[in-house]
Structure 1
Amino acid sequence: MLDVVRKYASERLKQRPRKGLSRFAFWLVAWLLALTALRLIPGVLGGLAAGLQIMVLVILAMVCIPLGWTFIRTRLLWSLRNKLIFTYVLIGAAPVVLIATLVLVSAYVAAGQFAIHLIDTRVQTELNQMSAENENRLVQLAKIVDGHPTREAMSVDMPREERSLMMDARRARLHHETTCFLEGTPVFHAMAKKHVPLGLPAWATQLPGGSFRNIVADNGELYLVAVQQQVLNDGRKFSVVDSVPLDSAVVDMLAEGLGIVKVHPDTTSETIADPAEAERHRLAARRAGITTSEIRGGRSHQGVNVADIPVNFPSTLPIVDWAQGKADNVAVTVDSLPSILYQQLFAASLSSGIMDFIRISLTILFLLFGGIELLAFIMAIRISRTMTSSIADLYEATQRVDRGDLDYRIAVTRTDQLAELSRSFNVMIGSLRRLLVEQKEKERLQSELSIAQEVQANLFPHSAVDLPTLELHGVCRPARSVSGDYYDFLVFQEDIADANGGRLTRRAAGVGIALGDISGKGISAALLMATLHSAVRAYQFASEELHYAASTLEGLMASKQGVADAGGWFQSPSRIMSLLNRHLFRSTQPEKYATLFLAHYDSATSVLTYSNAGQLPPFVLGRDGSVRRLEEGGTVVGLMDGMHYDEGRVVMAPGDIFIGYSDGVTEPENDFGDFGEERLIEVVARYRDEPLHIISAQVMLALDAWIGAEEQPDDITLVLARQL
C-alpha cells in the first residue's frame, strides 16, 4: 500500500508545473496543505500556522486571478464555439439580467415605499382619530374648567361619567393617557394603565392653530400624541394632551394585514438631559411592556408560491422631540410578502374578474417572452453550429494540407459566406497544388539551366591562350542563365625538326578566332551555340577532301604538309564558313541562324585572314589611333544554302588591338541613346596599354554605368587580341 501511495505521489510531483505562476501556485497549495495540518497542533505553533495559513491563502488568491484569466483565455475561449457562446451570453443574457435586475430593484423600492406608506397612513389615521376624540374631550372639559378657578374645585365638581368616558375599552387596550393642563400646569390626569405621564413642554404651550398630532420621543420612549388647546373666557389657556405609548399593541394595529413591523427607538437622535429622570421613565416603560431596543408587532405569513419570498423594507417615520420640539426620524422595518402587498394595492379597487384577467395576461406575456427566448436560443445554437462546423472543416483542411495532402477538399453543402470561404479554400488548394507542380517544373528547368550553364562555361576558353606574337582575351556575360553568344580560340600547332634533323618539336603556328551570335536567347540559342561550337571544332580536325564550289577549290587543294592538325583549313575561313552554313541549314529549323566571324592568324607573317558572316564588324585599332573595320564576308550562316563568303586580310602591326564584340556591347541604350561603337573604341583606346583583362573590365564597367539599374538587355561578348 505504501508503495502505491509513494508511486502516486511521485507521478503527481513529476506532473507539477515547471515554471511561471503555475509553479508558484503549486507550491503555495502545498504550503497551504502543510499549514492546515500544522494548525491542528495546539499551542503557539498552531496559532502561528493559522496566521501563516491566512497569509498564504491571500497570496494564493492573488496568484489565481491571472492564472484563471490565462486559463479562460487560452483554454475555455480558445475554440470558436466557446467564444460564440460567451458572446451570445453577453449579447443576449446580459441585457435580460440587467433588465430583470432593474425591474426587481424598482419593484423592491416601490413595494417598500408602499409598505411604509401604509404604515404612515395608519399612524396618521390613528392620530387623526385621537385628535378628534381629544377635540370633543376639550369642549366638555373646558366648560368645567371655565367655572372653577382652582384645581380642587375642578376635581370636586368634575362629573364621574366624564372620567369614565376617558376609560373606554379601545383606549384601555391601547394604553391611552389623558392629561389636562391649565396655563402649562397639570390639573388632572386619567390613564388606562399606569405609566409615566407626559408633561407639557414650553414649546407646546403656544401651538399654531391650537392643535398638534404626531409621534413624539420623550426620554427615549415613543408615543402617539394629540394635543388640543383652547383659551378660556377668563383668558387662561387650557390644554388637553392625549398620548398612547408606541408599544407592541399599537404596532400590531399598524402591521395588520402587512406582516411584521419593527420600530427601533434607539435610532432617534434625541438626548436625555436628566439621566435620573430618563432612567425612571425607562423603568416605568418597561413595567408597561415598552422596550426601547425594538418594538415588534404583527405576524408572519406563508407565501402563496415559491417566488413569494419574504422581503425586508427599511425606512423611517418622522417624529418630534417632545422636550425640544425638534423634528427627527425613527427607523422602521417591514417584513412582508409580495403577494400581501399586491392584495393591499389592488384588492380594494379591482374585482375578482379583473384580477384574474390581469393574472392570465401576465402569464401569457411571461410564456410569450419565454418562447421568444427559447426560439432565440435555438437559432443561436444552429447558427453557432453552422459557424463552428465550417471553422472546424477549415481547420481540418489546413492540418491535412500541412501534412502534404493537397488532394483534400472540403465538402460544401451550404450557400452562406462561410460556405463561400470553404469553396475559396478548395480553389486555393487547387491553385497551390498547381503552383507546386509549376514550382517543381521550374526547379527542374532551373537545374537543367544550371547544368547547361556549366556545360556552356566549359565550351568557352577557360585558360589563357597566348602566342609569342599575339595576346588574346575573351569574355561572355549572358543576359540569362545561358548565352546565345559564341567565341572560341583554336590554336594550331606545327612540328619542327631540330638543327640536326633529329627529334621533332611542336610550336604554335597560328590561332583561329571565332565570334558569333545565335538568333534568340535562352536554351534554344545555347543549344545552337553548342552545335556551332562543335562544328567549328570538328572542322578544325577534319581532313576529308571537299568539292563544294569553284571558288573554294583552291582552298581545298591547299598543301597540308607540315601541318599537324589540319589547321591549314582555317587559313581559308571562307571555306569553313561555307561548310558551316550548309551544316546549320540542313540540321536546324528554318528560322534558326547565326552571325559568325572566323579569322586565322599566322604567327610567322602576323597576317589575320578573316570572313564575316553578318557579325558586327570587328575593329583593328592601330597604334596611331587608326581604325580598320573587318567587313569582308557574306550573309548569316544557316539561313540559306549554297552561300558564298569572301575573305579579307589584315597585317597586324605591333601594338595593334583586335576588337571583336556582339550587339550586346554597342546596342544597350538609355536616355542618351545607344552605347555605340565610338564609346567602345574610346574606352579601349584609353586603356590600350593595360593588360587585356583590364581593358575588358573597363568596358564592362562603362556598359554597366550606361545601362544603370535596368536589366541587361542582351548577351555581352567581347574578344580582344593585341599584336606583340
Structure 2
Amino acid sequence: MPDGARAKFFGWIDRRPRKGLERAAFWLLAWFLLLSAMRWIPGLLGGLAAGLQITVGVVLLMVALPLIWTTIRMRLLWSLRNKLVLTYLLIGLAPVVLIITLVLVSAYVAAGQFAIHLVDARVTSYLMQMGSENEARFRHLQPTVEGHSTRETMNADLPPDDRPAGVPSRFRRDTTCFLDGTSVFHVASARKAPLGLAPWATEVRGGRFHGIVSDGGELYLVALHQQRLNDGRMFTVMNSIPMERELIDLFAEGLGVVRLLPEKTETKQASSDPAPNSSEVRRNRQHYLSETRGGVDPKGSNAADIRVWFPSTLAMTDWAAGQPDNVVLEVDSRPSLLYQQLFGASLSGWVMTVIRVSLTLLVFVFGALWLTAFVMAVRLTRTMTESVADLYDATQRVDRGDLEHKIIVKRTDQLAELSRSFNAMTGSLQRLLVEQKEKERLQNELSIAQEVQANLFPHSASDLPTLELHGVCRPARSVSGDYYDFLVFQEDVPSLNGGRPTRREAGVGIAIGDISGKGISAALLMATLHSAVRAYQFASEELVYSKSALEGLTANKEGLADAGGWFQSPGRIMSLLNRHLFRSTQPEKYATLFLAHYNAASSVLTYSNAGQLPPFVLGKDGSVQRLEEGGTVVGLMDGMHFGEGRVTMQSGDILVAYSDGVTEPENDFGDFGETRLLEVVSRYRTQPLHVISAQVMLALDAWIGAEEQPDDITLVLARQV
C-alpha cells in the first residue's frame, strides 16, 4: 500500500467514533461489510458468514434506528425553521393526507361495491327474464299436458321446440318438463348434461324458484315453475343454462373482467331421476367448482384510471341438497368504466360540458387559494425564523461582550416586542455593568475604610499591673459608627542609684462612644472623634525632637503620654470635644461618649458620661453601680458643661461599658436588655475578659437569631486586679 493511501486509511481509523451508539454502529457496519464480502467464499465459511451477516444486520438495525432518530432530532430539528416545517406538515398536511386516503379508500370500496352490484343486478335481471320465459312456456305447455295421461301420448303431441313465439332468448337453454318429479319432456343445448329434478324441488314453496345452483361441480342459472294440475298431478317446467364464458361475457359487458372462483361444495343427495344422457351423480361426494371468467381486460384511459378489483359473494343453492351456499365473485374494472355505467347517456350534452368547465374552474380557484395560503405561510414562517435568527445572532454577539449590538426591529408583532425587550435587556446589562463597576469601586473604598478604621482600634494589650482591659467592636455594616479606645499614660520613676529614671504606667484613659447614624458618615465622624481624643492625649506630652532621620524612622509609634493633668479631668476634655464637633461637623451630627481616667496608684476611676448608656461597675459582692454623671451628647450644642464622677475600684470589680447595639436587639420576647447582659457577665466574671466578651456575643447572636444585626455592637471590659 502506498504511503499516502496508508496515511489516509489510518487517519480515517483515527477519526472513528469513540463512544456510545456511534461507536457501536461504526463497528457493526464494518463487520457487516466484511461479512458481505466473506459470504461469497464457497463452502462452509461462506454459509457461516451469511448467517452471521443476518445477525449483525439485525443488531445494526436496532442500533442504527435510535442513532438516526438522535441525529434527526439534534441536527435536522435543531433549527426553528425545520421544526416549523415539520409542525406544518403534521398539522396541515397529515390531516389532508389522511382525509384523501380515507376518501380514496372509500371511493375504491364504493367503486368495487358498485361493480359487484352491477354484476348482481345483471344476474338477477337475467334470472327474472328466465323466470318470465319459463312461466310463459308453462302456460304454453299446460293444456297439452292436461290432455294426456301417459308420457308416450304426451310426447306425440308436444312440439319439437318448446319456446313460445314472442319469447326471444340470446342463449340456448335446457328446458325440462316433469310430472310428479318424472321427466316427460326435454329440449337440450347438447353442451352440458341436463339437470334432474332434485327431491327437494319436486314441490317448491310458492311454485316458483330462480337462482344460481351448483350440480356436479358446475354452476347453472335455473328458473323453475310448477303447479298442480286438475287431476292432482304436479307439473313442473324447469329452464336452465350453464354459467359459461359466453354468459359471463354478457354479465361483464362494459365492466371489465368477472370471475367466479372455484369453491368446494358437498353434494348431500343426488337427484331422484337424472335426465337422459346425464352423468351419474354420486351421493356424499365432494366436487370443486371450476373457475369461470368472462369479459375483456380493461385498459386505463389515463394514469388516474387505476384498476379496481373487488371480491364478493353471490347466493347459490346446492341443487342436490337444497342447502343455501355462496360462490365467490371477483370483478376487475376501471373507474372510467364504472363512471360510464353510472351516468351513461347523461355524460353527453351541454349540461355536462358546463359541469366539466365549472369543475375545472373550481380546481383552478382552489389551486389559487392554496398557493395564496402557501405564500402567506412561508412569509409568516420567515418572520418567525428571521426574528429567532436575529435573536440568536444577538445572543452570540452579547456572549462575545458586544453589549452595544442592537436588533433592527421593523415589525409590530410579539416577536418584534421580544426583540425590543432584548435590546432593552442589553441596555440594562450595560447600565448594570457600569453600576457593578461603581459598586466594586465603592466596595474597594469601603474595604480600605474598614482597614483604616480597624487600625484606629487598639491592637495590643493595654493591661496595667492593677487593671485588666479588653474591648471589642462588631460593625453592623462594613464600617462602624461605634468607637472605643485605651490611652495609657506613663510617669517617670527616679532611679535609686541616681541613674537615668525609668517609666511606668501611671494610669489609662478609657473611651467608648456611639456616633449618630450608620455606615460611611458615622465612620468618618468616628475617625474625627478618635483623632480629637488622641490629640488631647498628645497635648500633655513634652515635645522631644529626634537627633537624626534614622532615629525618627525607628521611633516607637505608640508613644508614651505623660501622666499630666489634661486627661485627669474627663469633663474638661468632653467640653473641648463638644466645641470641636459642633464647629466642624453638620448640625445634625452628634455623638454619645463616655470618657474615664483610671489612676493606677489610687485605683480611682474619674469619668464623664455625655449621653452614653451608663456603664456599670459590677462589684465582687454582686452590687451594681451605674456611672451616670456627665451631660448631654457632644456636638449638638455649643458651650455645654459636663460633670465628673469618681469610683474607687476594688479587687475583682468589673467595669462594663457598652453601646446600644448590645442591649437593644429584639426578638419575639423583647429587647436583650441590661439585665441579661448583667447575668452573662456575672456568670463568667471569674473567666478572662475575652471569654466574658465572647459569651456576651454568643448570647446576643442567639437572641438575634437569623435576623440581620440591627446596630453596631461595642463592649469594653475593665477588671481591677
Taking a change above 3 Å as real, the CA distance of residues 448 and 26 of structure 1, as seen in their structure-2 partners, is same
Q: Provide the rounded CA distance (Å) in 1 between the counterparts of 2:223 and 2:333.
A: 29
Within-5 A mapping of 1:117-128: 117-128=117-128
- Aligned to 2:567, what secondary structure does the other structure show? helix
Give the CA deviation at 1:523. 1.4
d(CA) in 2 for partners of 1:317, 1:151 = 38
Structure 1 counterpart of 2:563, from 549, 563, 567: 567
The aligned residue for residue 137 of structure 1 is 137
Structure 1 residue corresponding to 2:720, chosen from 698, 720, 723: 723
Cα gap change, 1:167 to 1:332, in 2 (>3 Å): farther
Query: Does structure 1 retain, via aligned residues, the 8 Å contact 2:269–2:320?
Result: no
Partner of 1:287: none
Residue equivalent to 2:196? 199
What CA deviation, in whole Å up to 9, does each residue of 1:422-467 have, x standing for no partner? 2222222222332333233323323332332233222212232211
- 1:414 match: 411
Q: Which moved more, 1:421-430 or 1:333-342?
A: 421-430
1:267 to 260, 263, 266: 263
TM-score (structure 1 length as normaliser): 0.87
State the alpha-carbon separation in 1 of the partners of residues 668 and 249 from structure 2.
Answer: 112
Residue 21 of structure 1 aligns with an amino acid whose one-letter code is L
Q: Which residue of 2 aligns with 1:211?
A: 208
Shift of the 679–208 alpha-carbon distance from structure 1 to 2, 3 Å rule, reads: closer
SS of corresponding position for 1:473? strand
How far has the Cα of 1:77 moved from its partner? 2.3
Whole-angstrom CA distance in 2 between matches of 1:668 and 1:428 = 42
The structure-2 alpha-carbon separation of the partners of 1:209 and 1:349, relative to structure 1 and needing over 3 Å to count, comes to farther
Give me the whole-angstrom Cα distance separating, in 1, the residues matched to 2:25 and 2:542: 100
Q: How does 1:116-515 map to 2 (within 5 A)?
A: 116-160=116-160, 162=161, 174-264=171-261, 266-267=262-263, 269-271=265-267, 292-348=289-345, 352-515=349-512
- 2:595 is paired with a residue whose SS is strand
Aligned-residue offset at 1:150: 4.1
Change (3 A) 1:134 1:708: closer
Shift of 1:250: 0.6
SS at match of 2:513: strand
Classify 1:156/1:616 alpha carbon distance in 2 versus 1 (closer, same or farther; 3 Å).
closer
Counterpart contact for 1:131–1:213, Cα < 8 Å: yes
Alignment partner, residue 654 of structure 1: 651
Residues 66 and 270 of structure 1: is their aligned pair in 2 closer, same or farther, counting only changes over 3 Å?
farther
Q: What amino acid is aligned across from residue 58 of structure 2 in structure 1?
A: V
Report the more deviating stretch, 330-339 or 584-593: 584-593
Shift in CA distance, 146/632, structure 1 to aligned 2, threshold 3 Å: closer
1:110 corresponds in structure 2 to 110
Query: Distance in 1 between the 2:125 and 2:36 partners?
Result: 62
Task: Measure the CA separation in 2 of the matches of 1:705 and 1:534.
Answer: 35
Give the alignment of 1:52-67 within 5 angstroms: 52-67=52-67
Q: What TM-score, normalized to structure 2?
A: 0.88
Alpha-carbon displacement from aligned partner over 1:67-89 (angstroms, at most 9, x marks no partner): 33323332322222222222222
Q: What letter is aligned with 1:697? A: A
Relative distance call for 1:233 and 1:577 in structure 2 (3 A) is closer
Asked if structure 2 preserves the Cα contact closer than 8 Å seen for 1:166 and 1:190, the reply is no
Give the Cα separation in 1 of the matches to 2:4 and 2:317: 78
**1:555 equivalent in structure 2:** none
Q: Deviations over 1:18-64 (max 9, x none)?
A: 33333333333223222322332334443343333333333333333
- Correspondence for 1:559: none
Q: 1:316 to 1:365 in 2, by over 3 A?
A: farther
Deviates more, 1:650-659 or 1:147-156: 147-156
Identity %: 70
Instruction: Tell me: CA distance 1:168–1:4, structure 2 relative to 1, closer, same or farther (3 Å).
Output: farther
Assess if the C-alpha contact under 8 Å between 2:217 and 2:290 holds in 1. no
- Deviation of 1:349 after TM superposition, in Å, equals 5.3
Distance 1:330 1:530, change over 3 A: same
1:563-612 per-position Cα deviation (integer Å, ceiling 9, x unaligned): 96333132233443344344434443343332222222221222223333
Shift of 1:650: 2.9
CA distance in 2, matches of 1:709, 1:52: 71
Does the 8 A contact of 1:313 with 1:334 survive in 2?
yes
Where structure 2 has 5 or more consecutive residues not aligned to the other structure, the ranges are: 282-287, 544-558
CA RMSD of the aligned region, Å?
3.2
- Deviation for aligned residue 1:514: 1.6
How many angstroms apart in 1 are the aligned matches of 2:4 and 2:255?
66
Higher share in helix: 1
The one-letter code sitting in structure 1 at the alignment partner of 2:14 is K
1:217 Cα deviation (Å)? 1.0
Match of residue 530, structure 1, among 516, 523, 527: 527
Q: Which moved more, 1:193-202 or 1:151-160?
A: 151-160
**Residue 282 and residue 169 in structure 1: after superposition, are their counterparts in 2 closer, same or farther (change >3 A)?**
farther
Which stretch has the larger CA shift, 706-715 or 536-545? Answer: 536-545
The residue that corresponds to 2:284 in the other structure is none
Tell me the equivalent position of 1:84.
Answer: 84
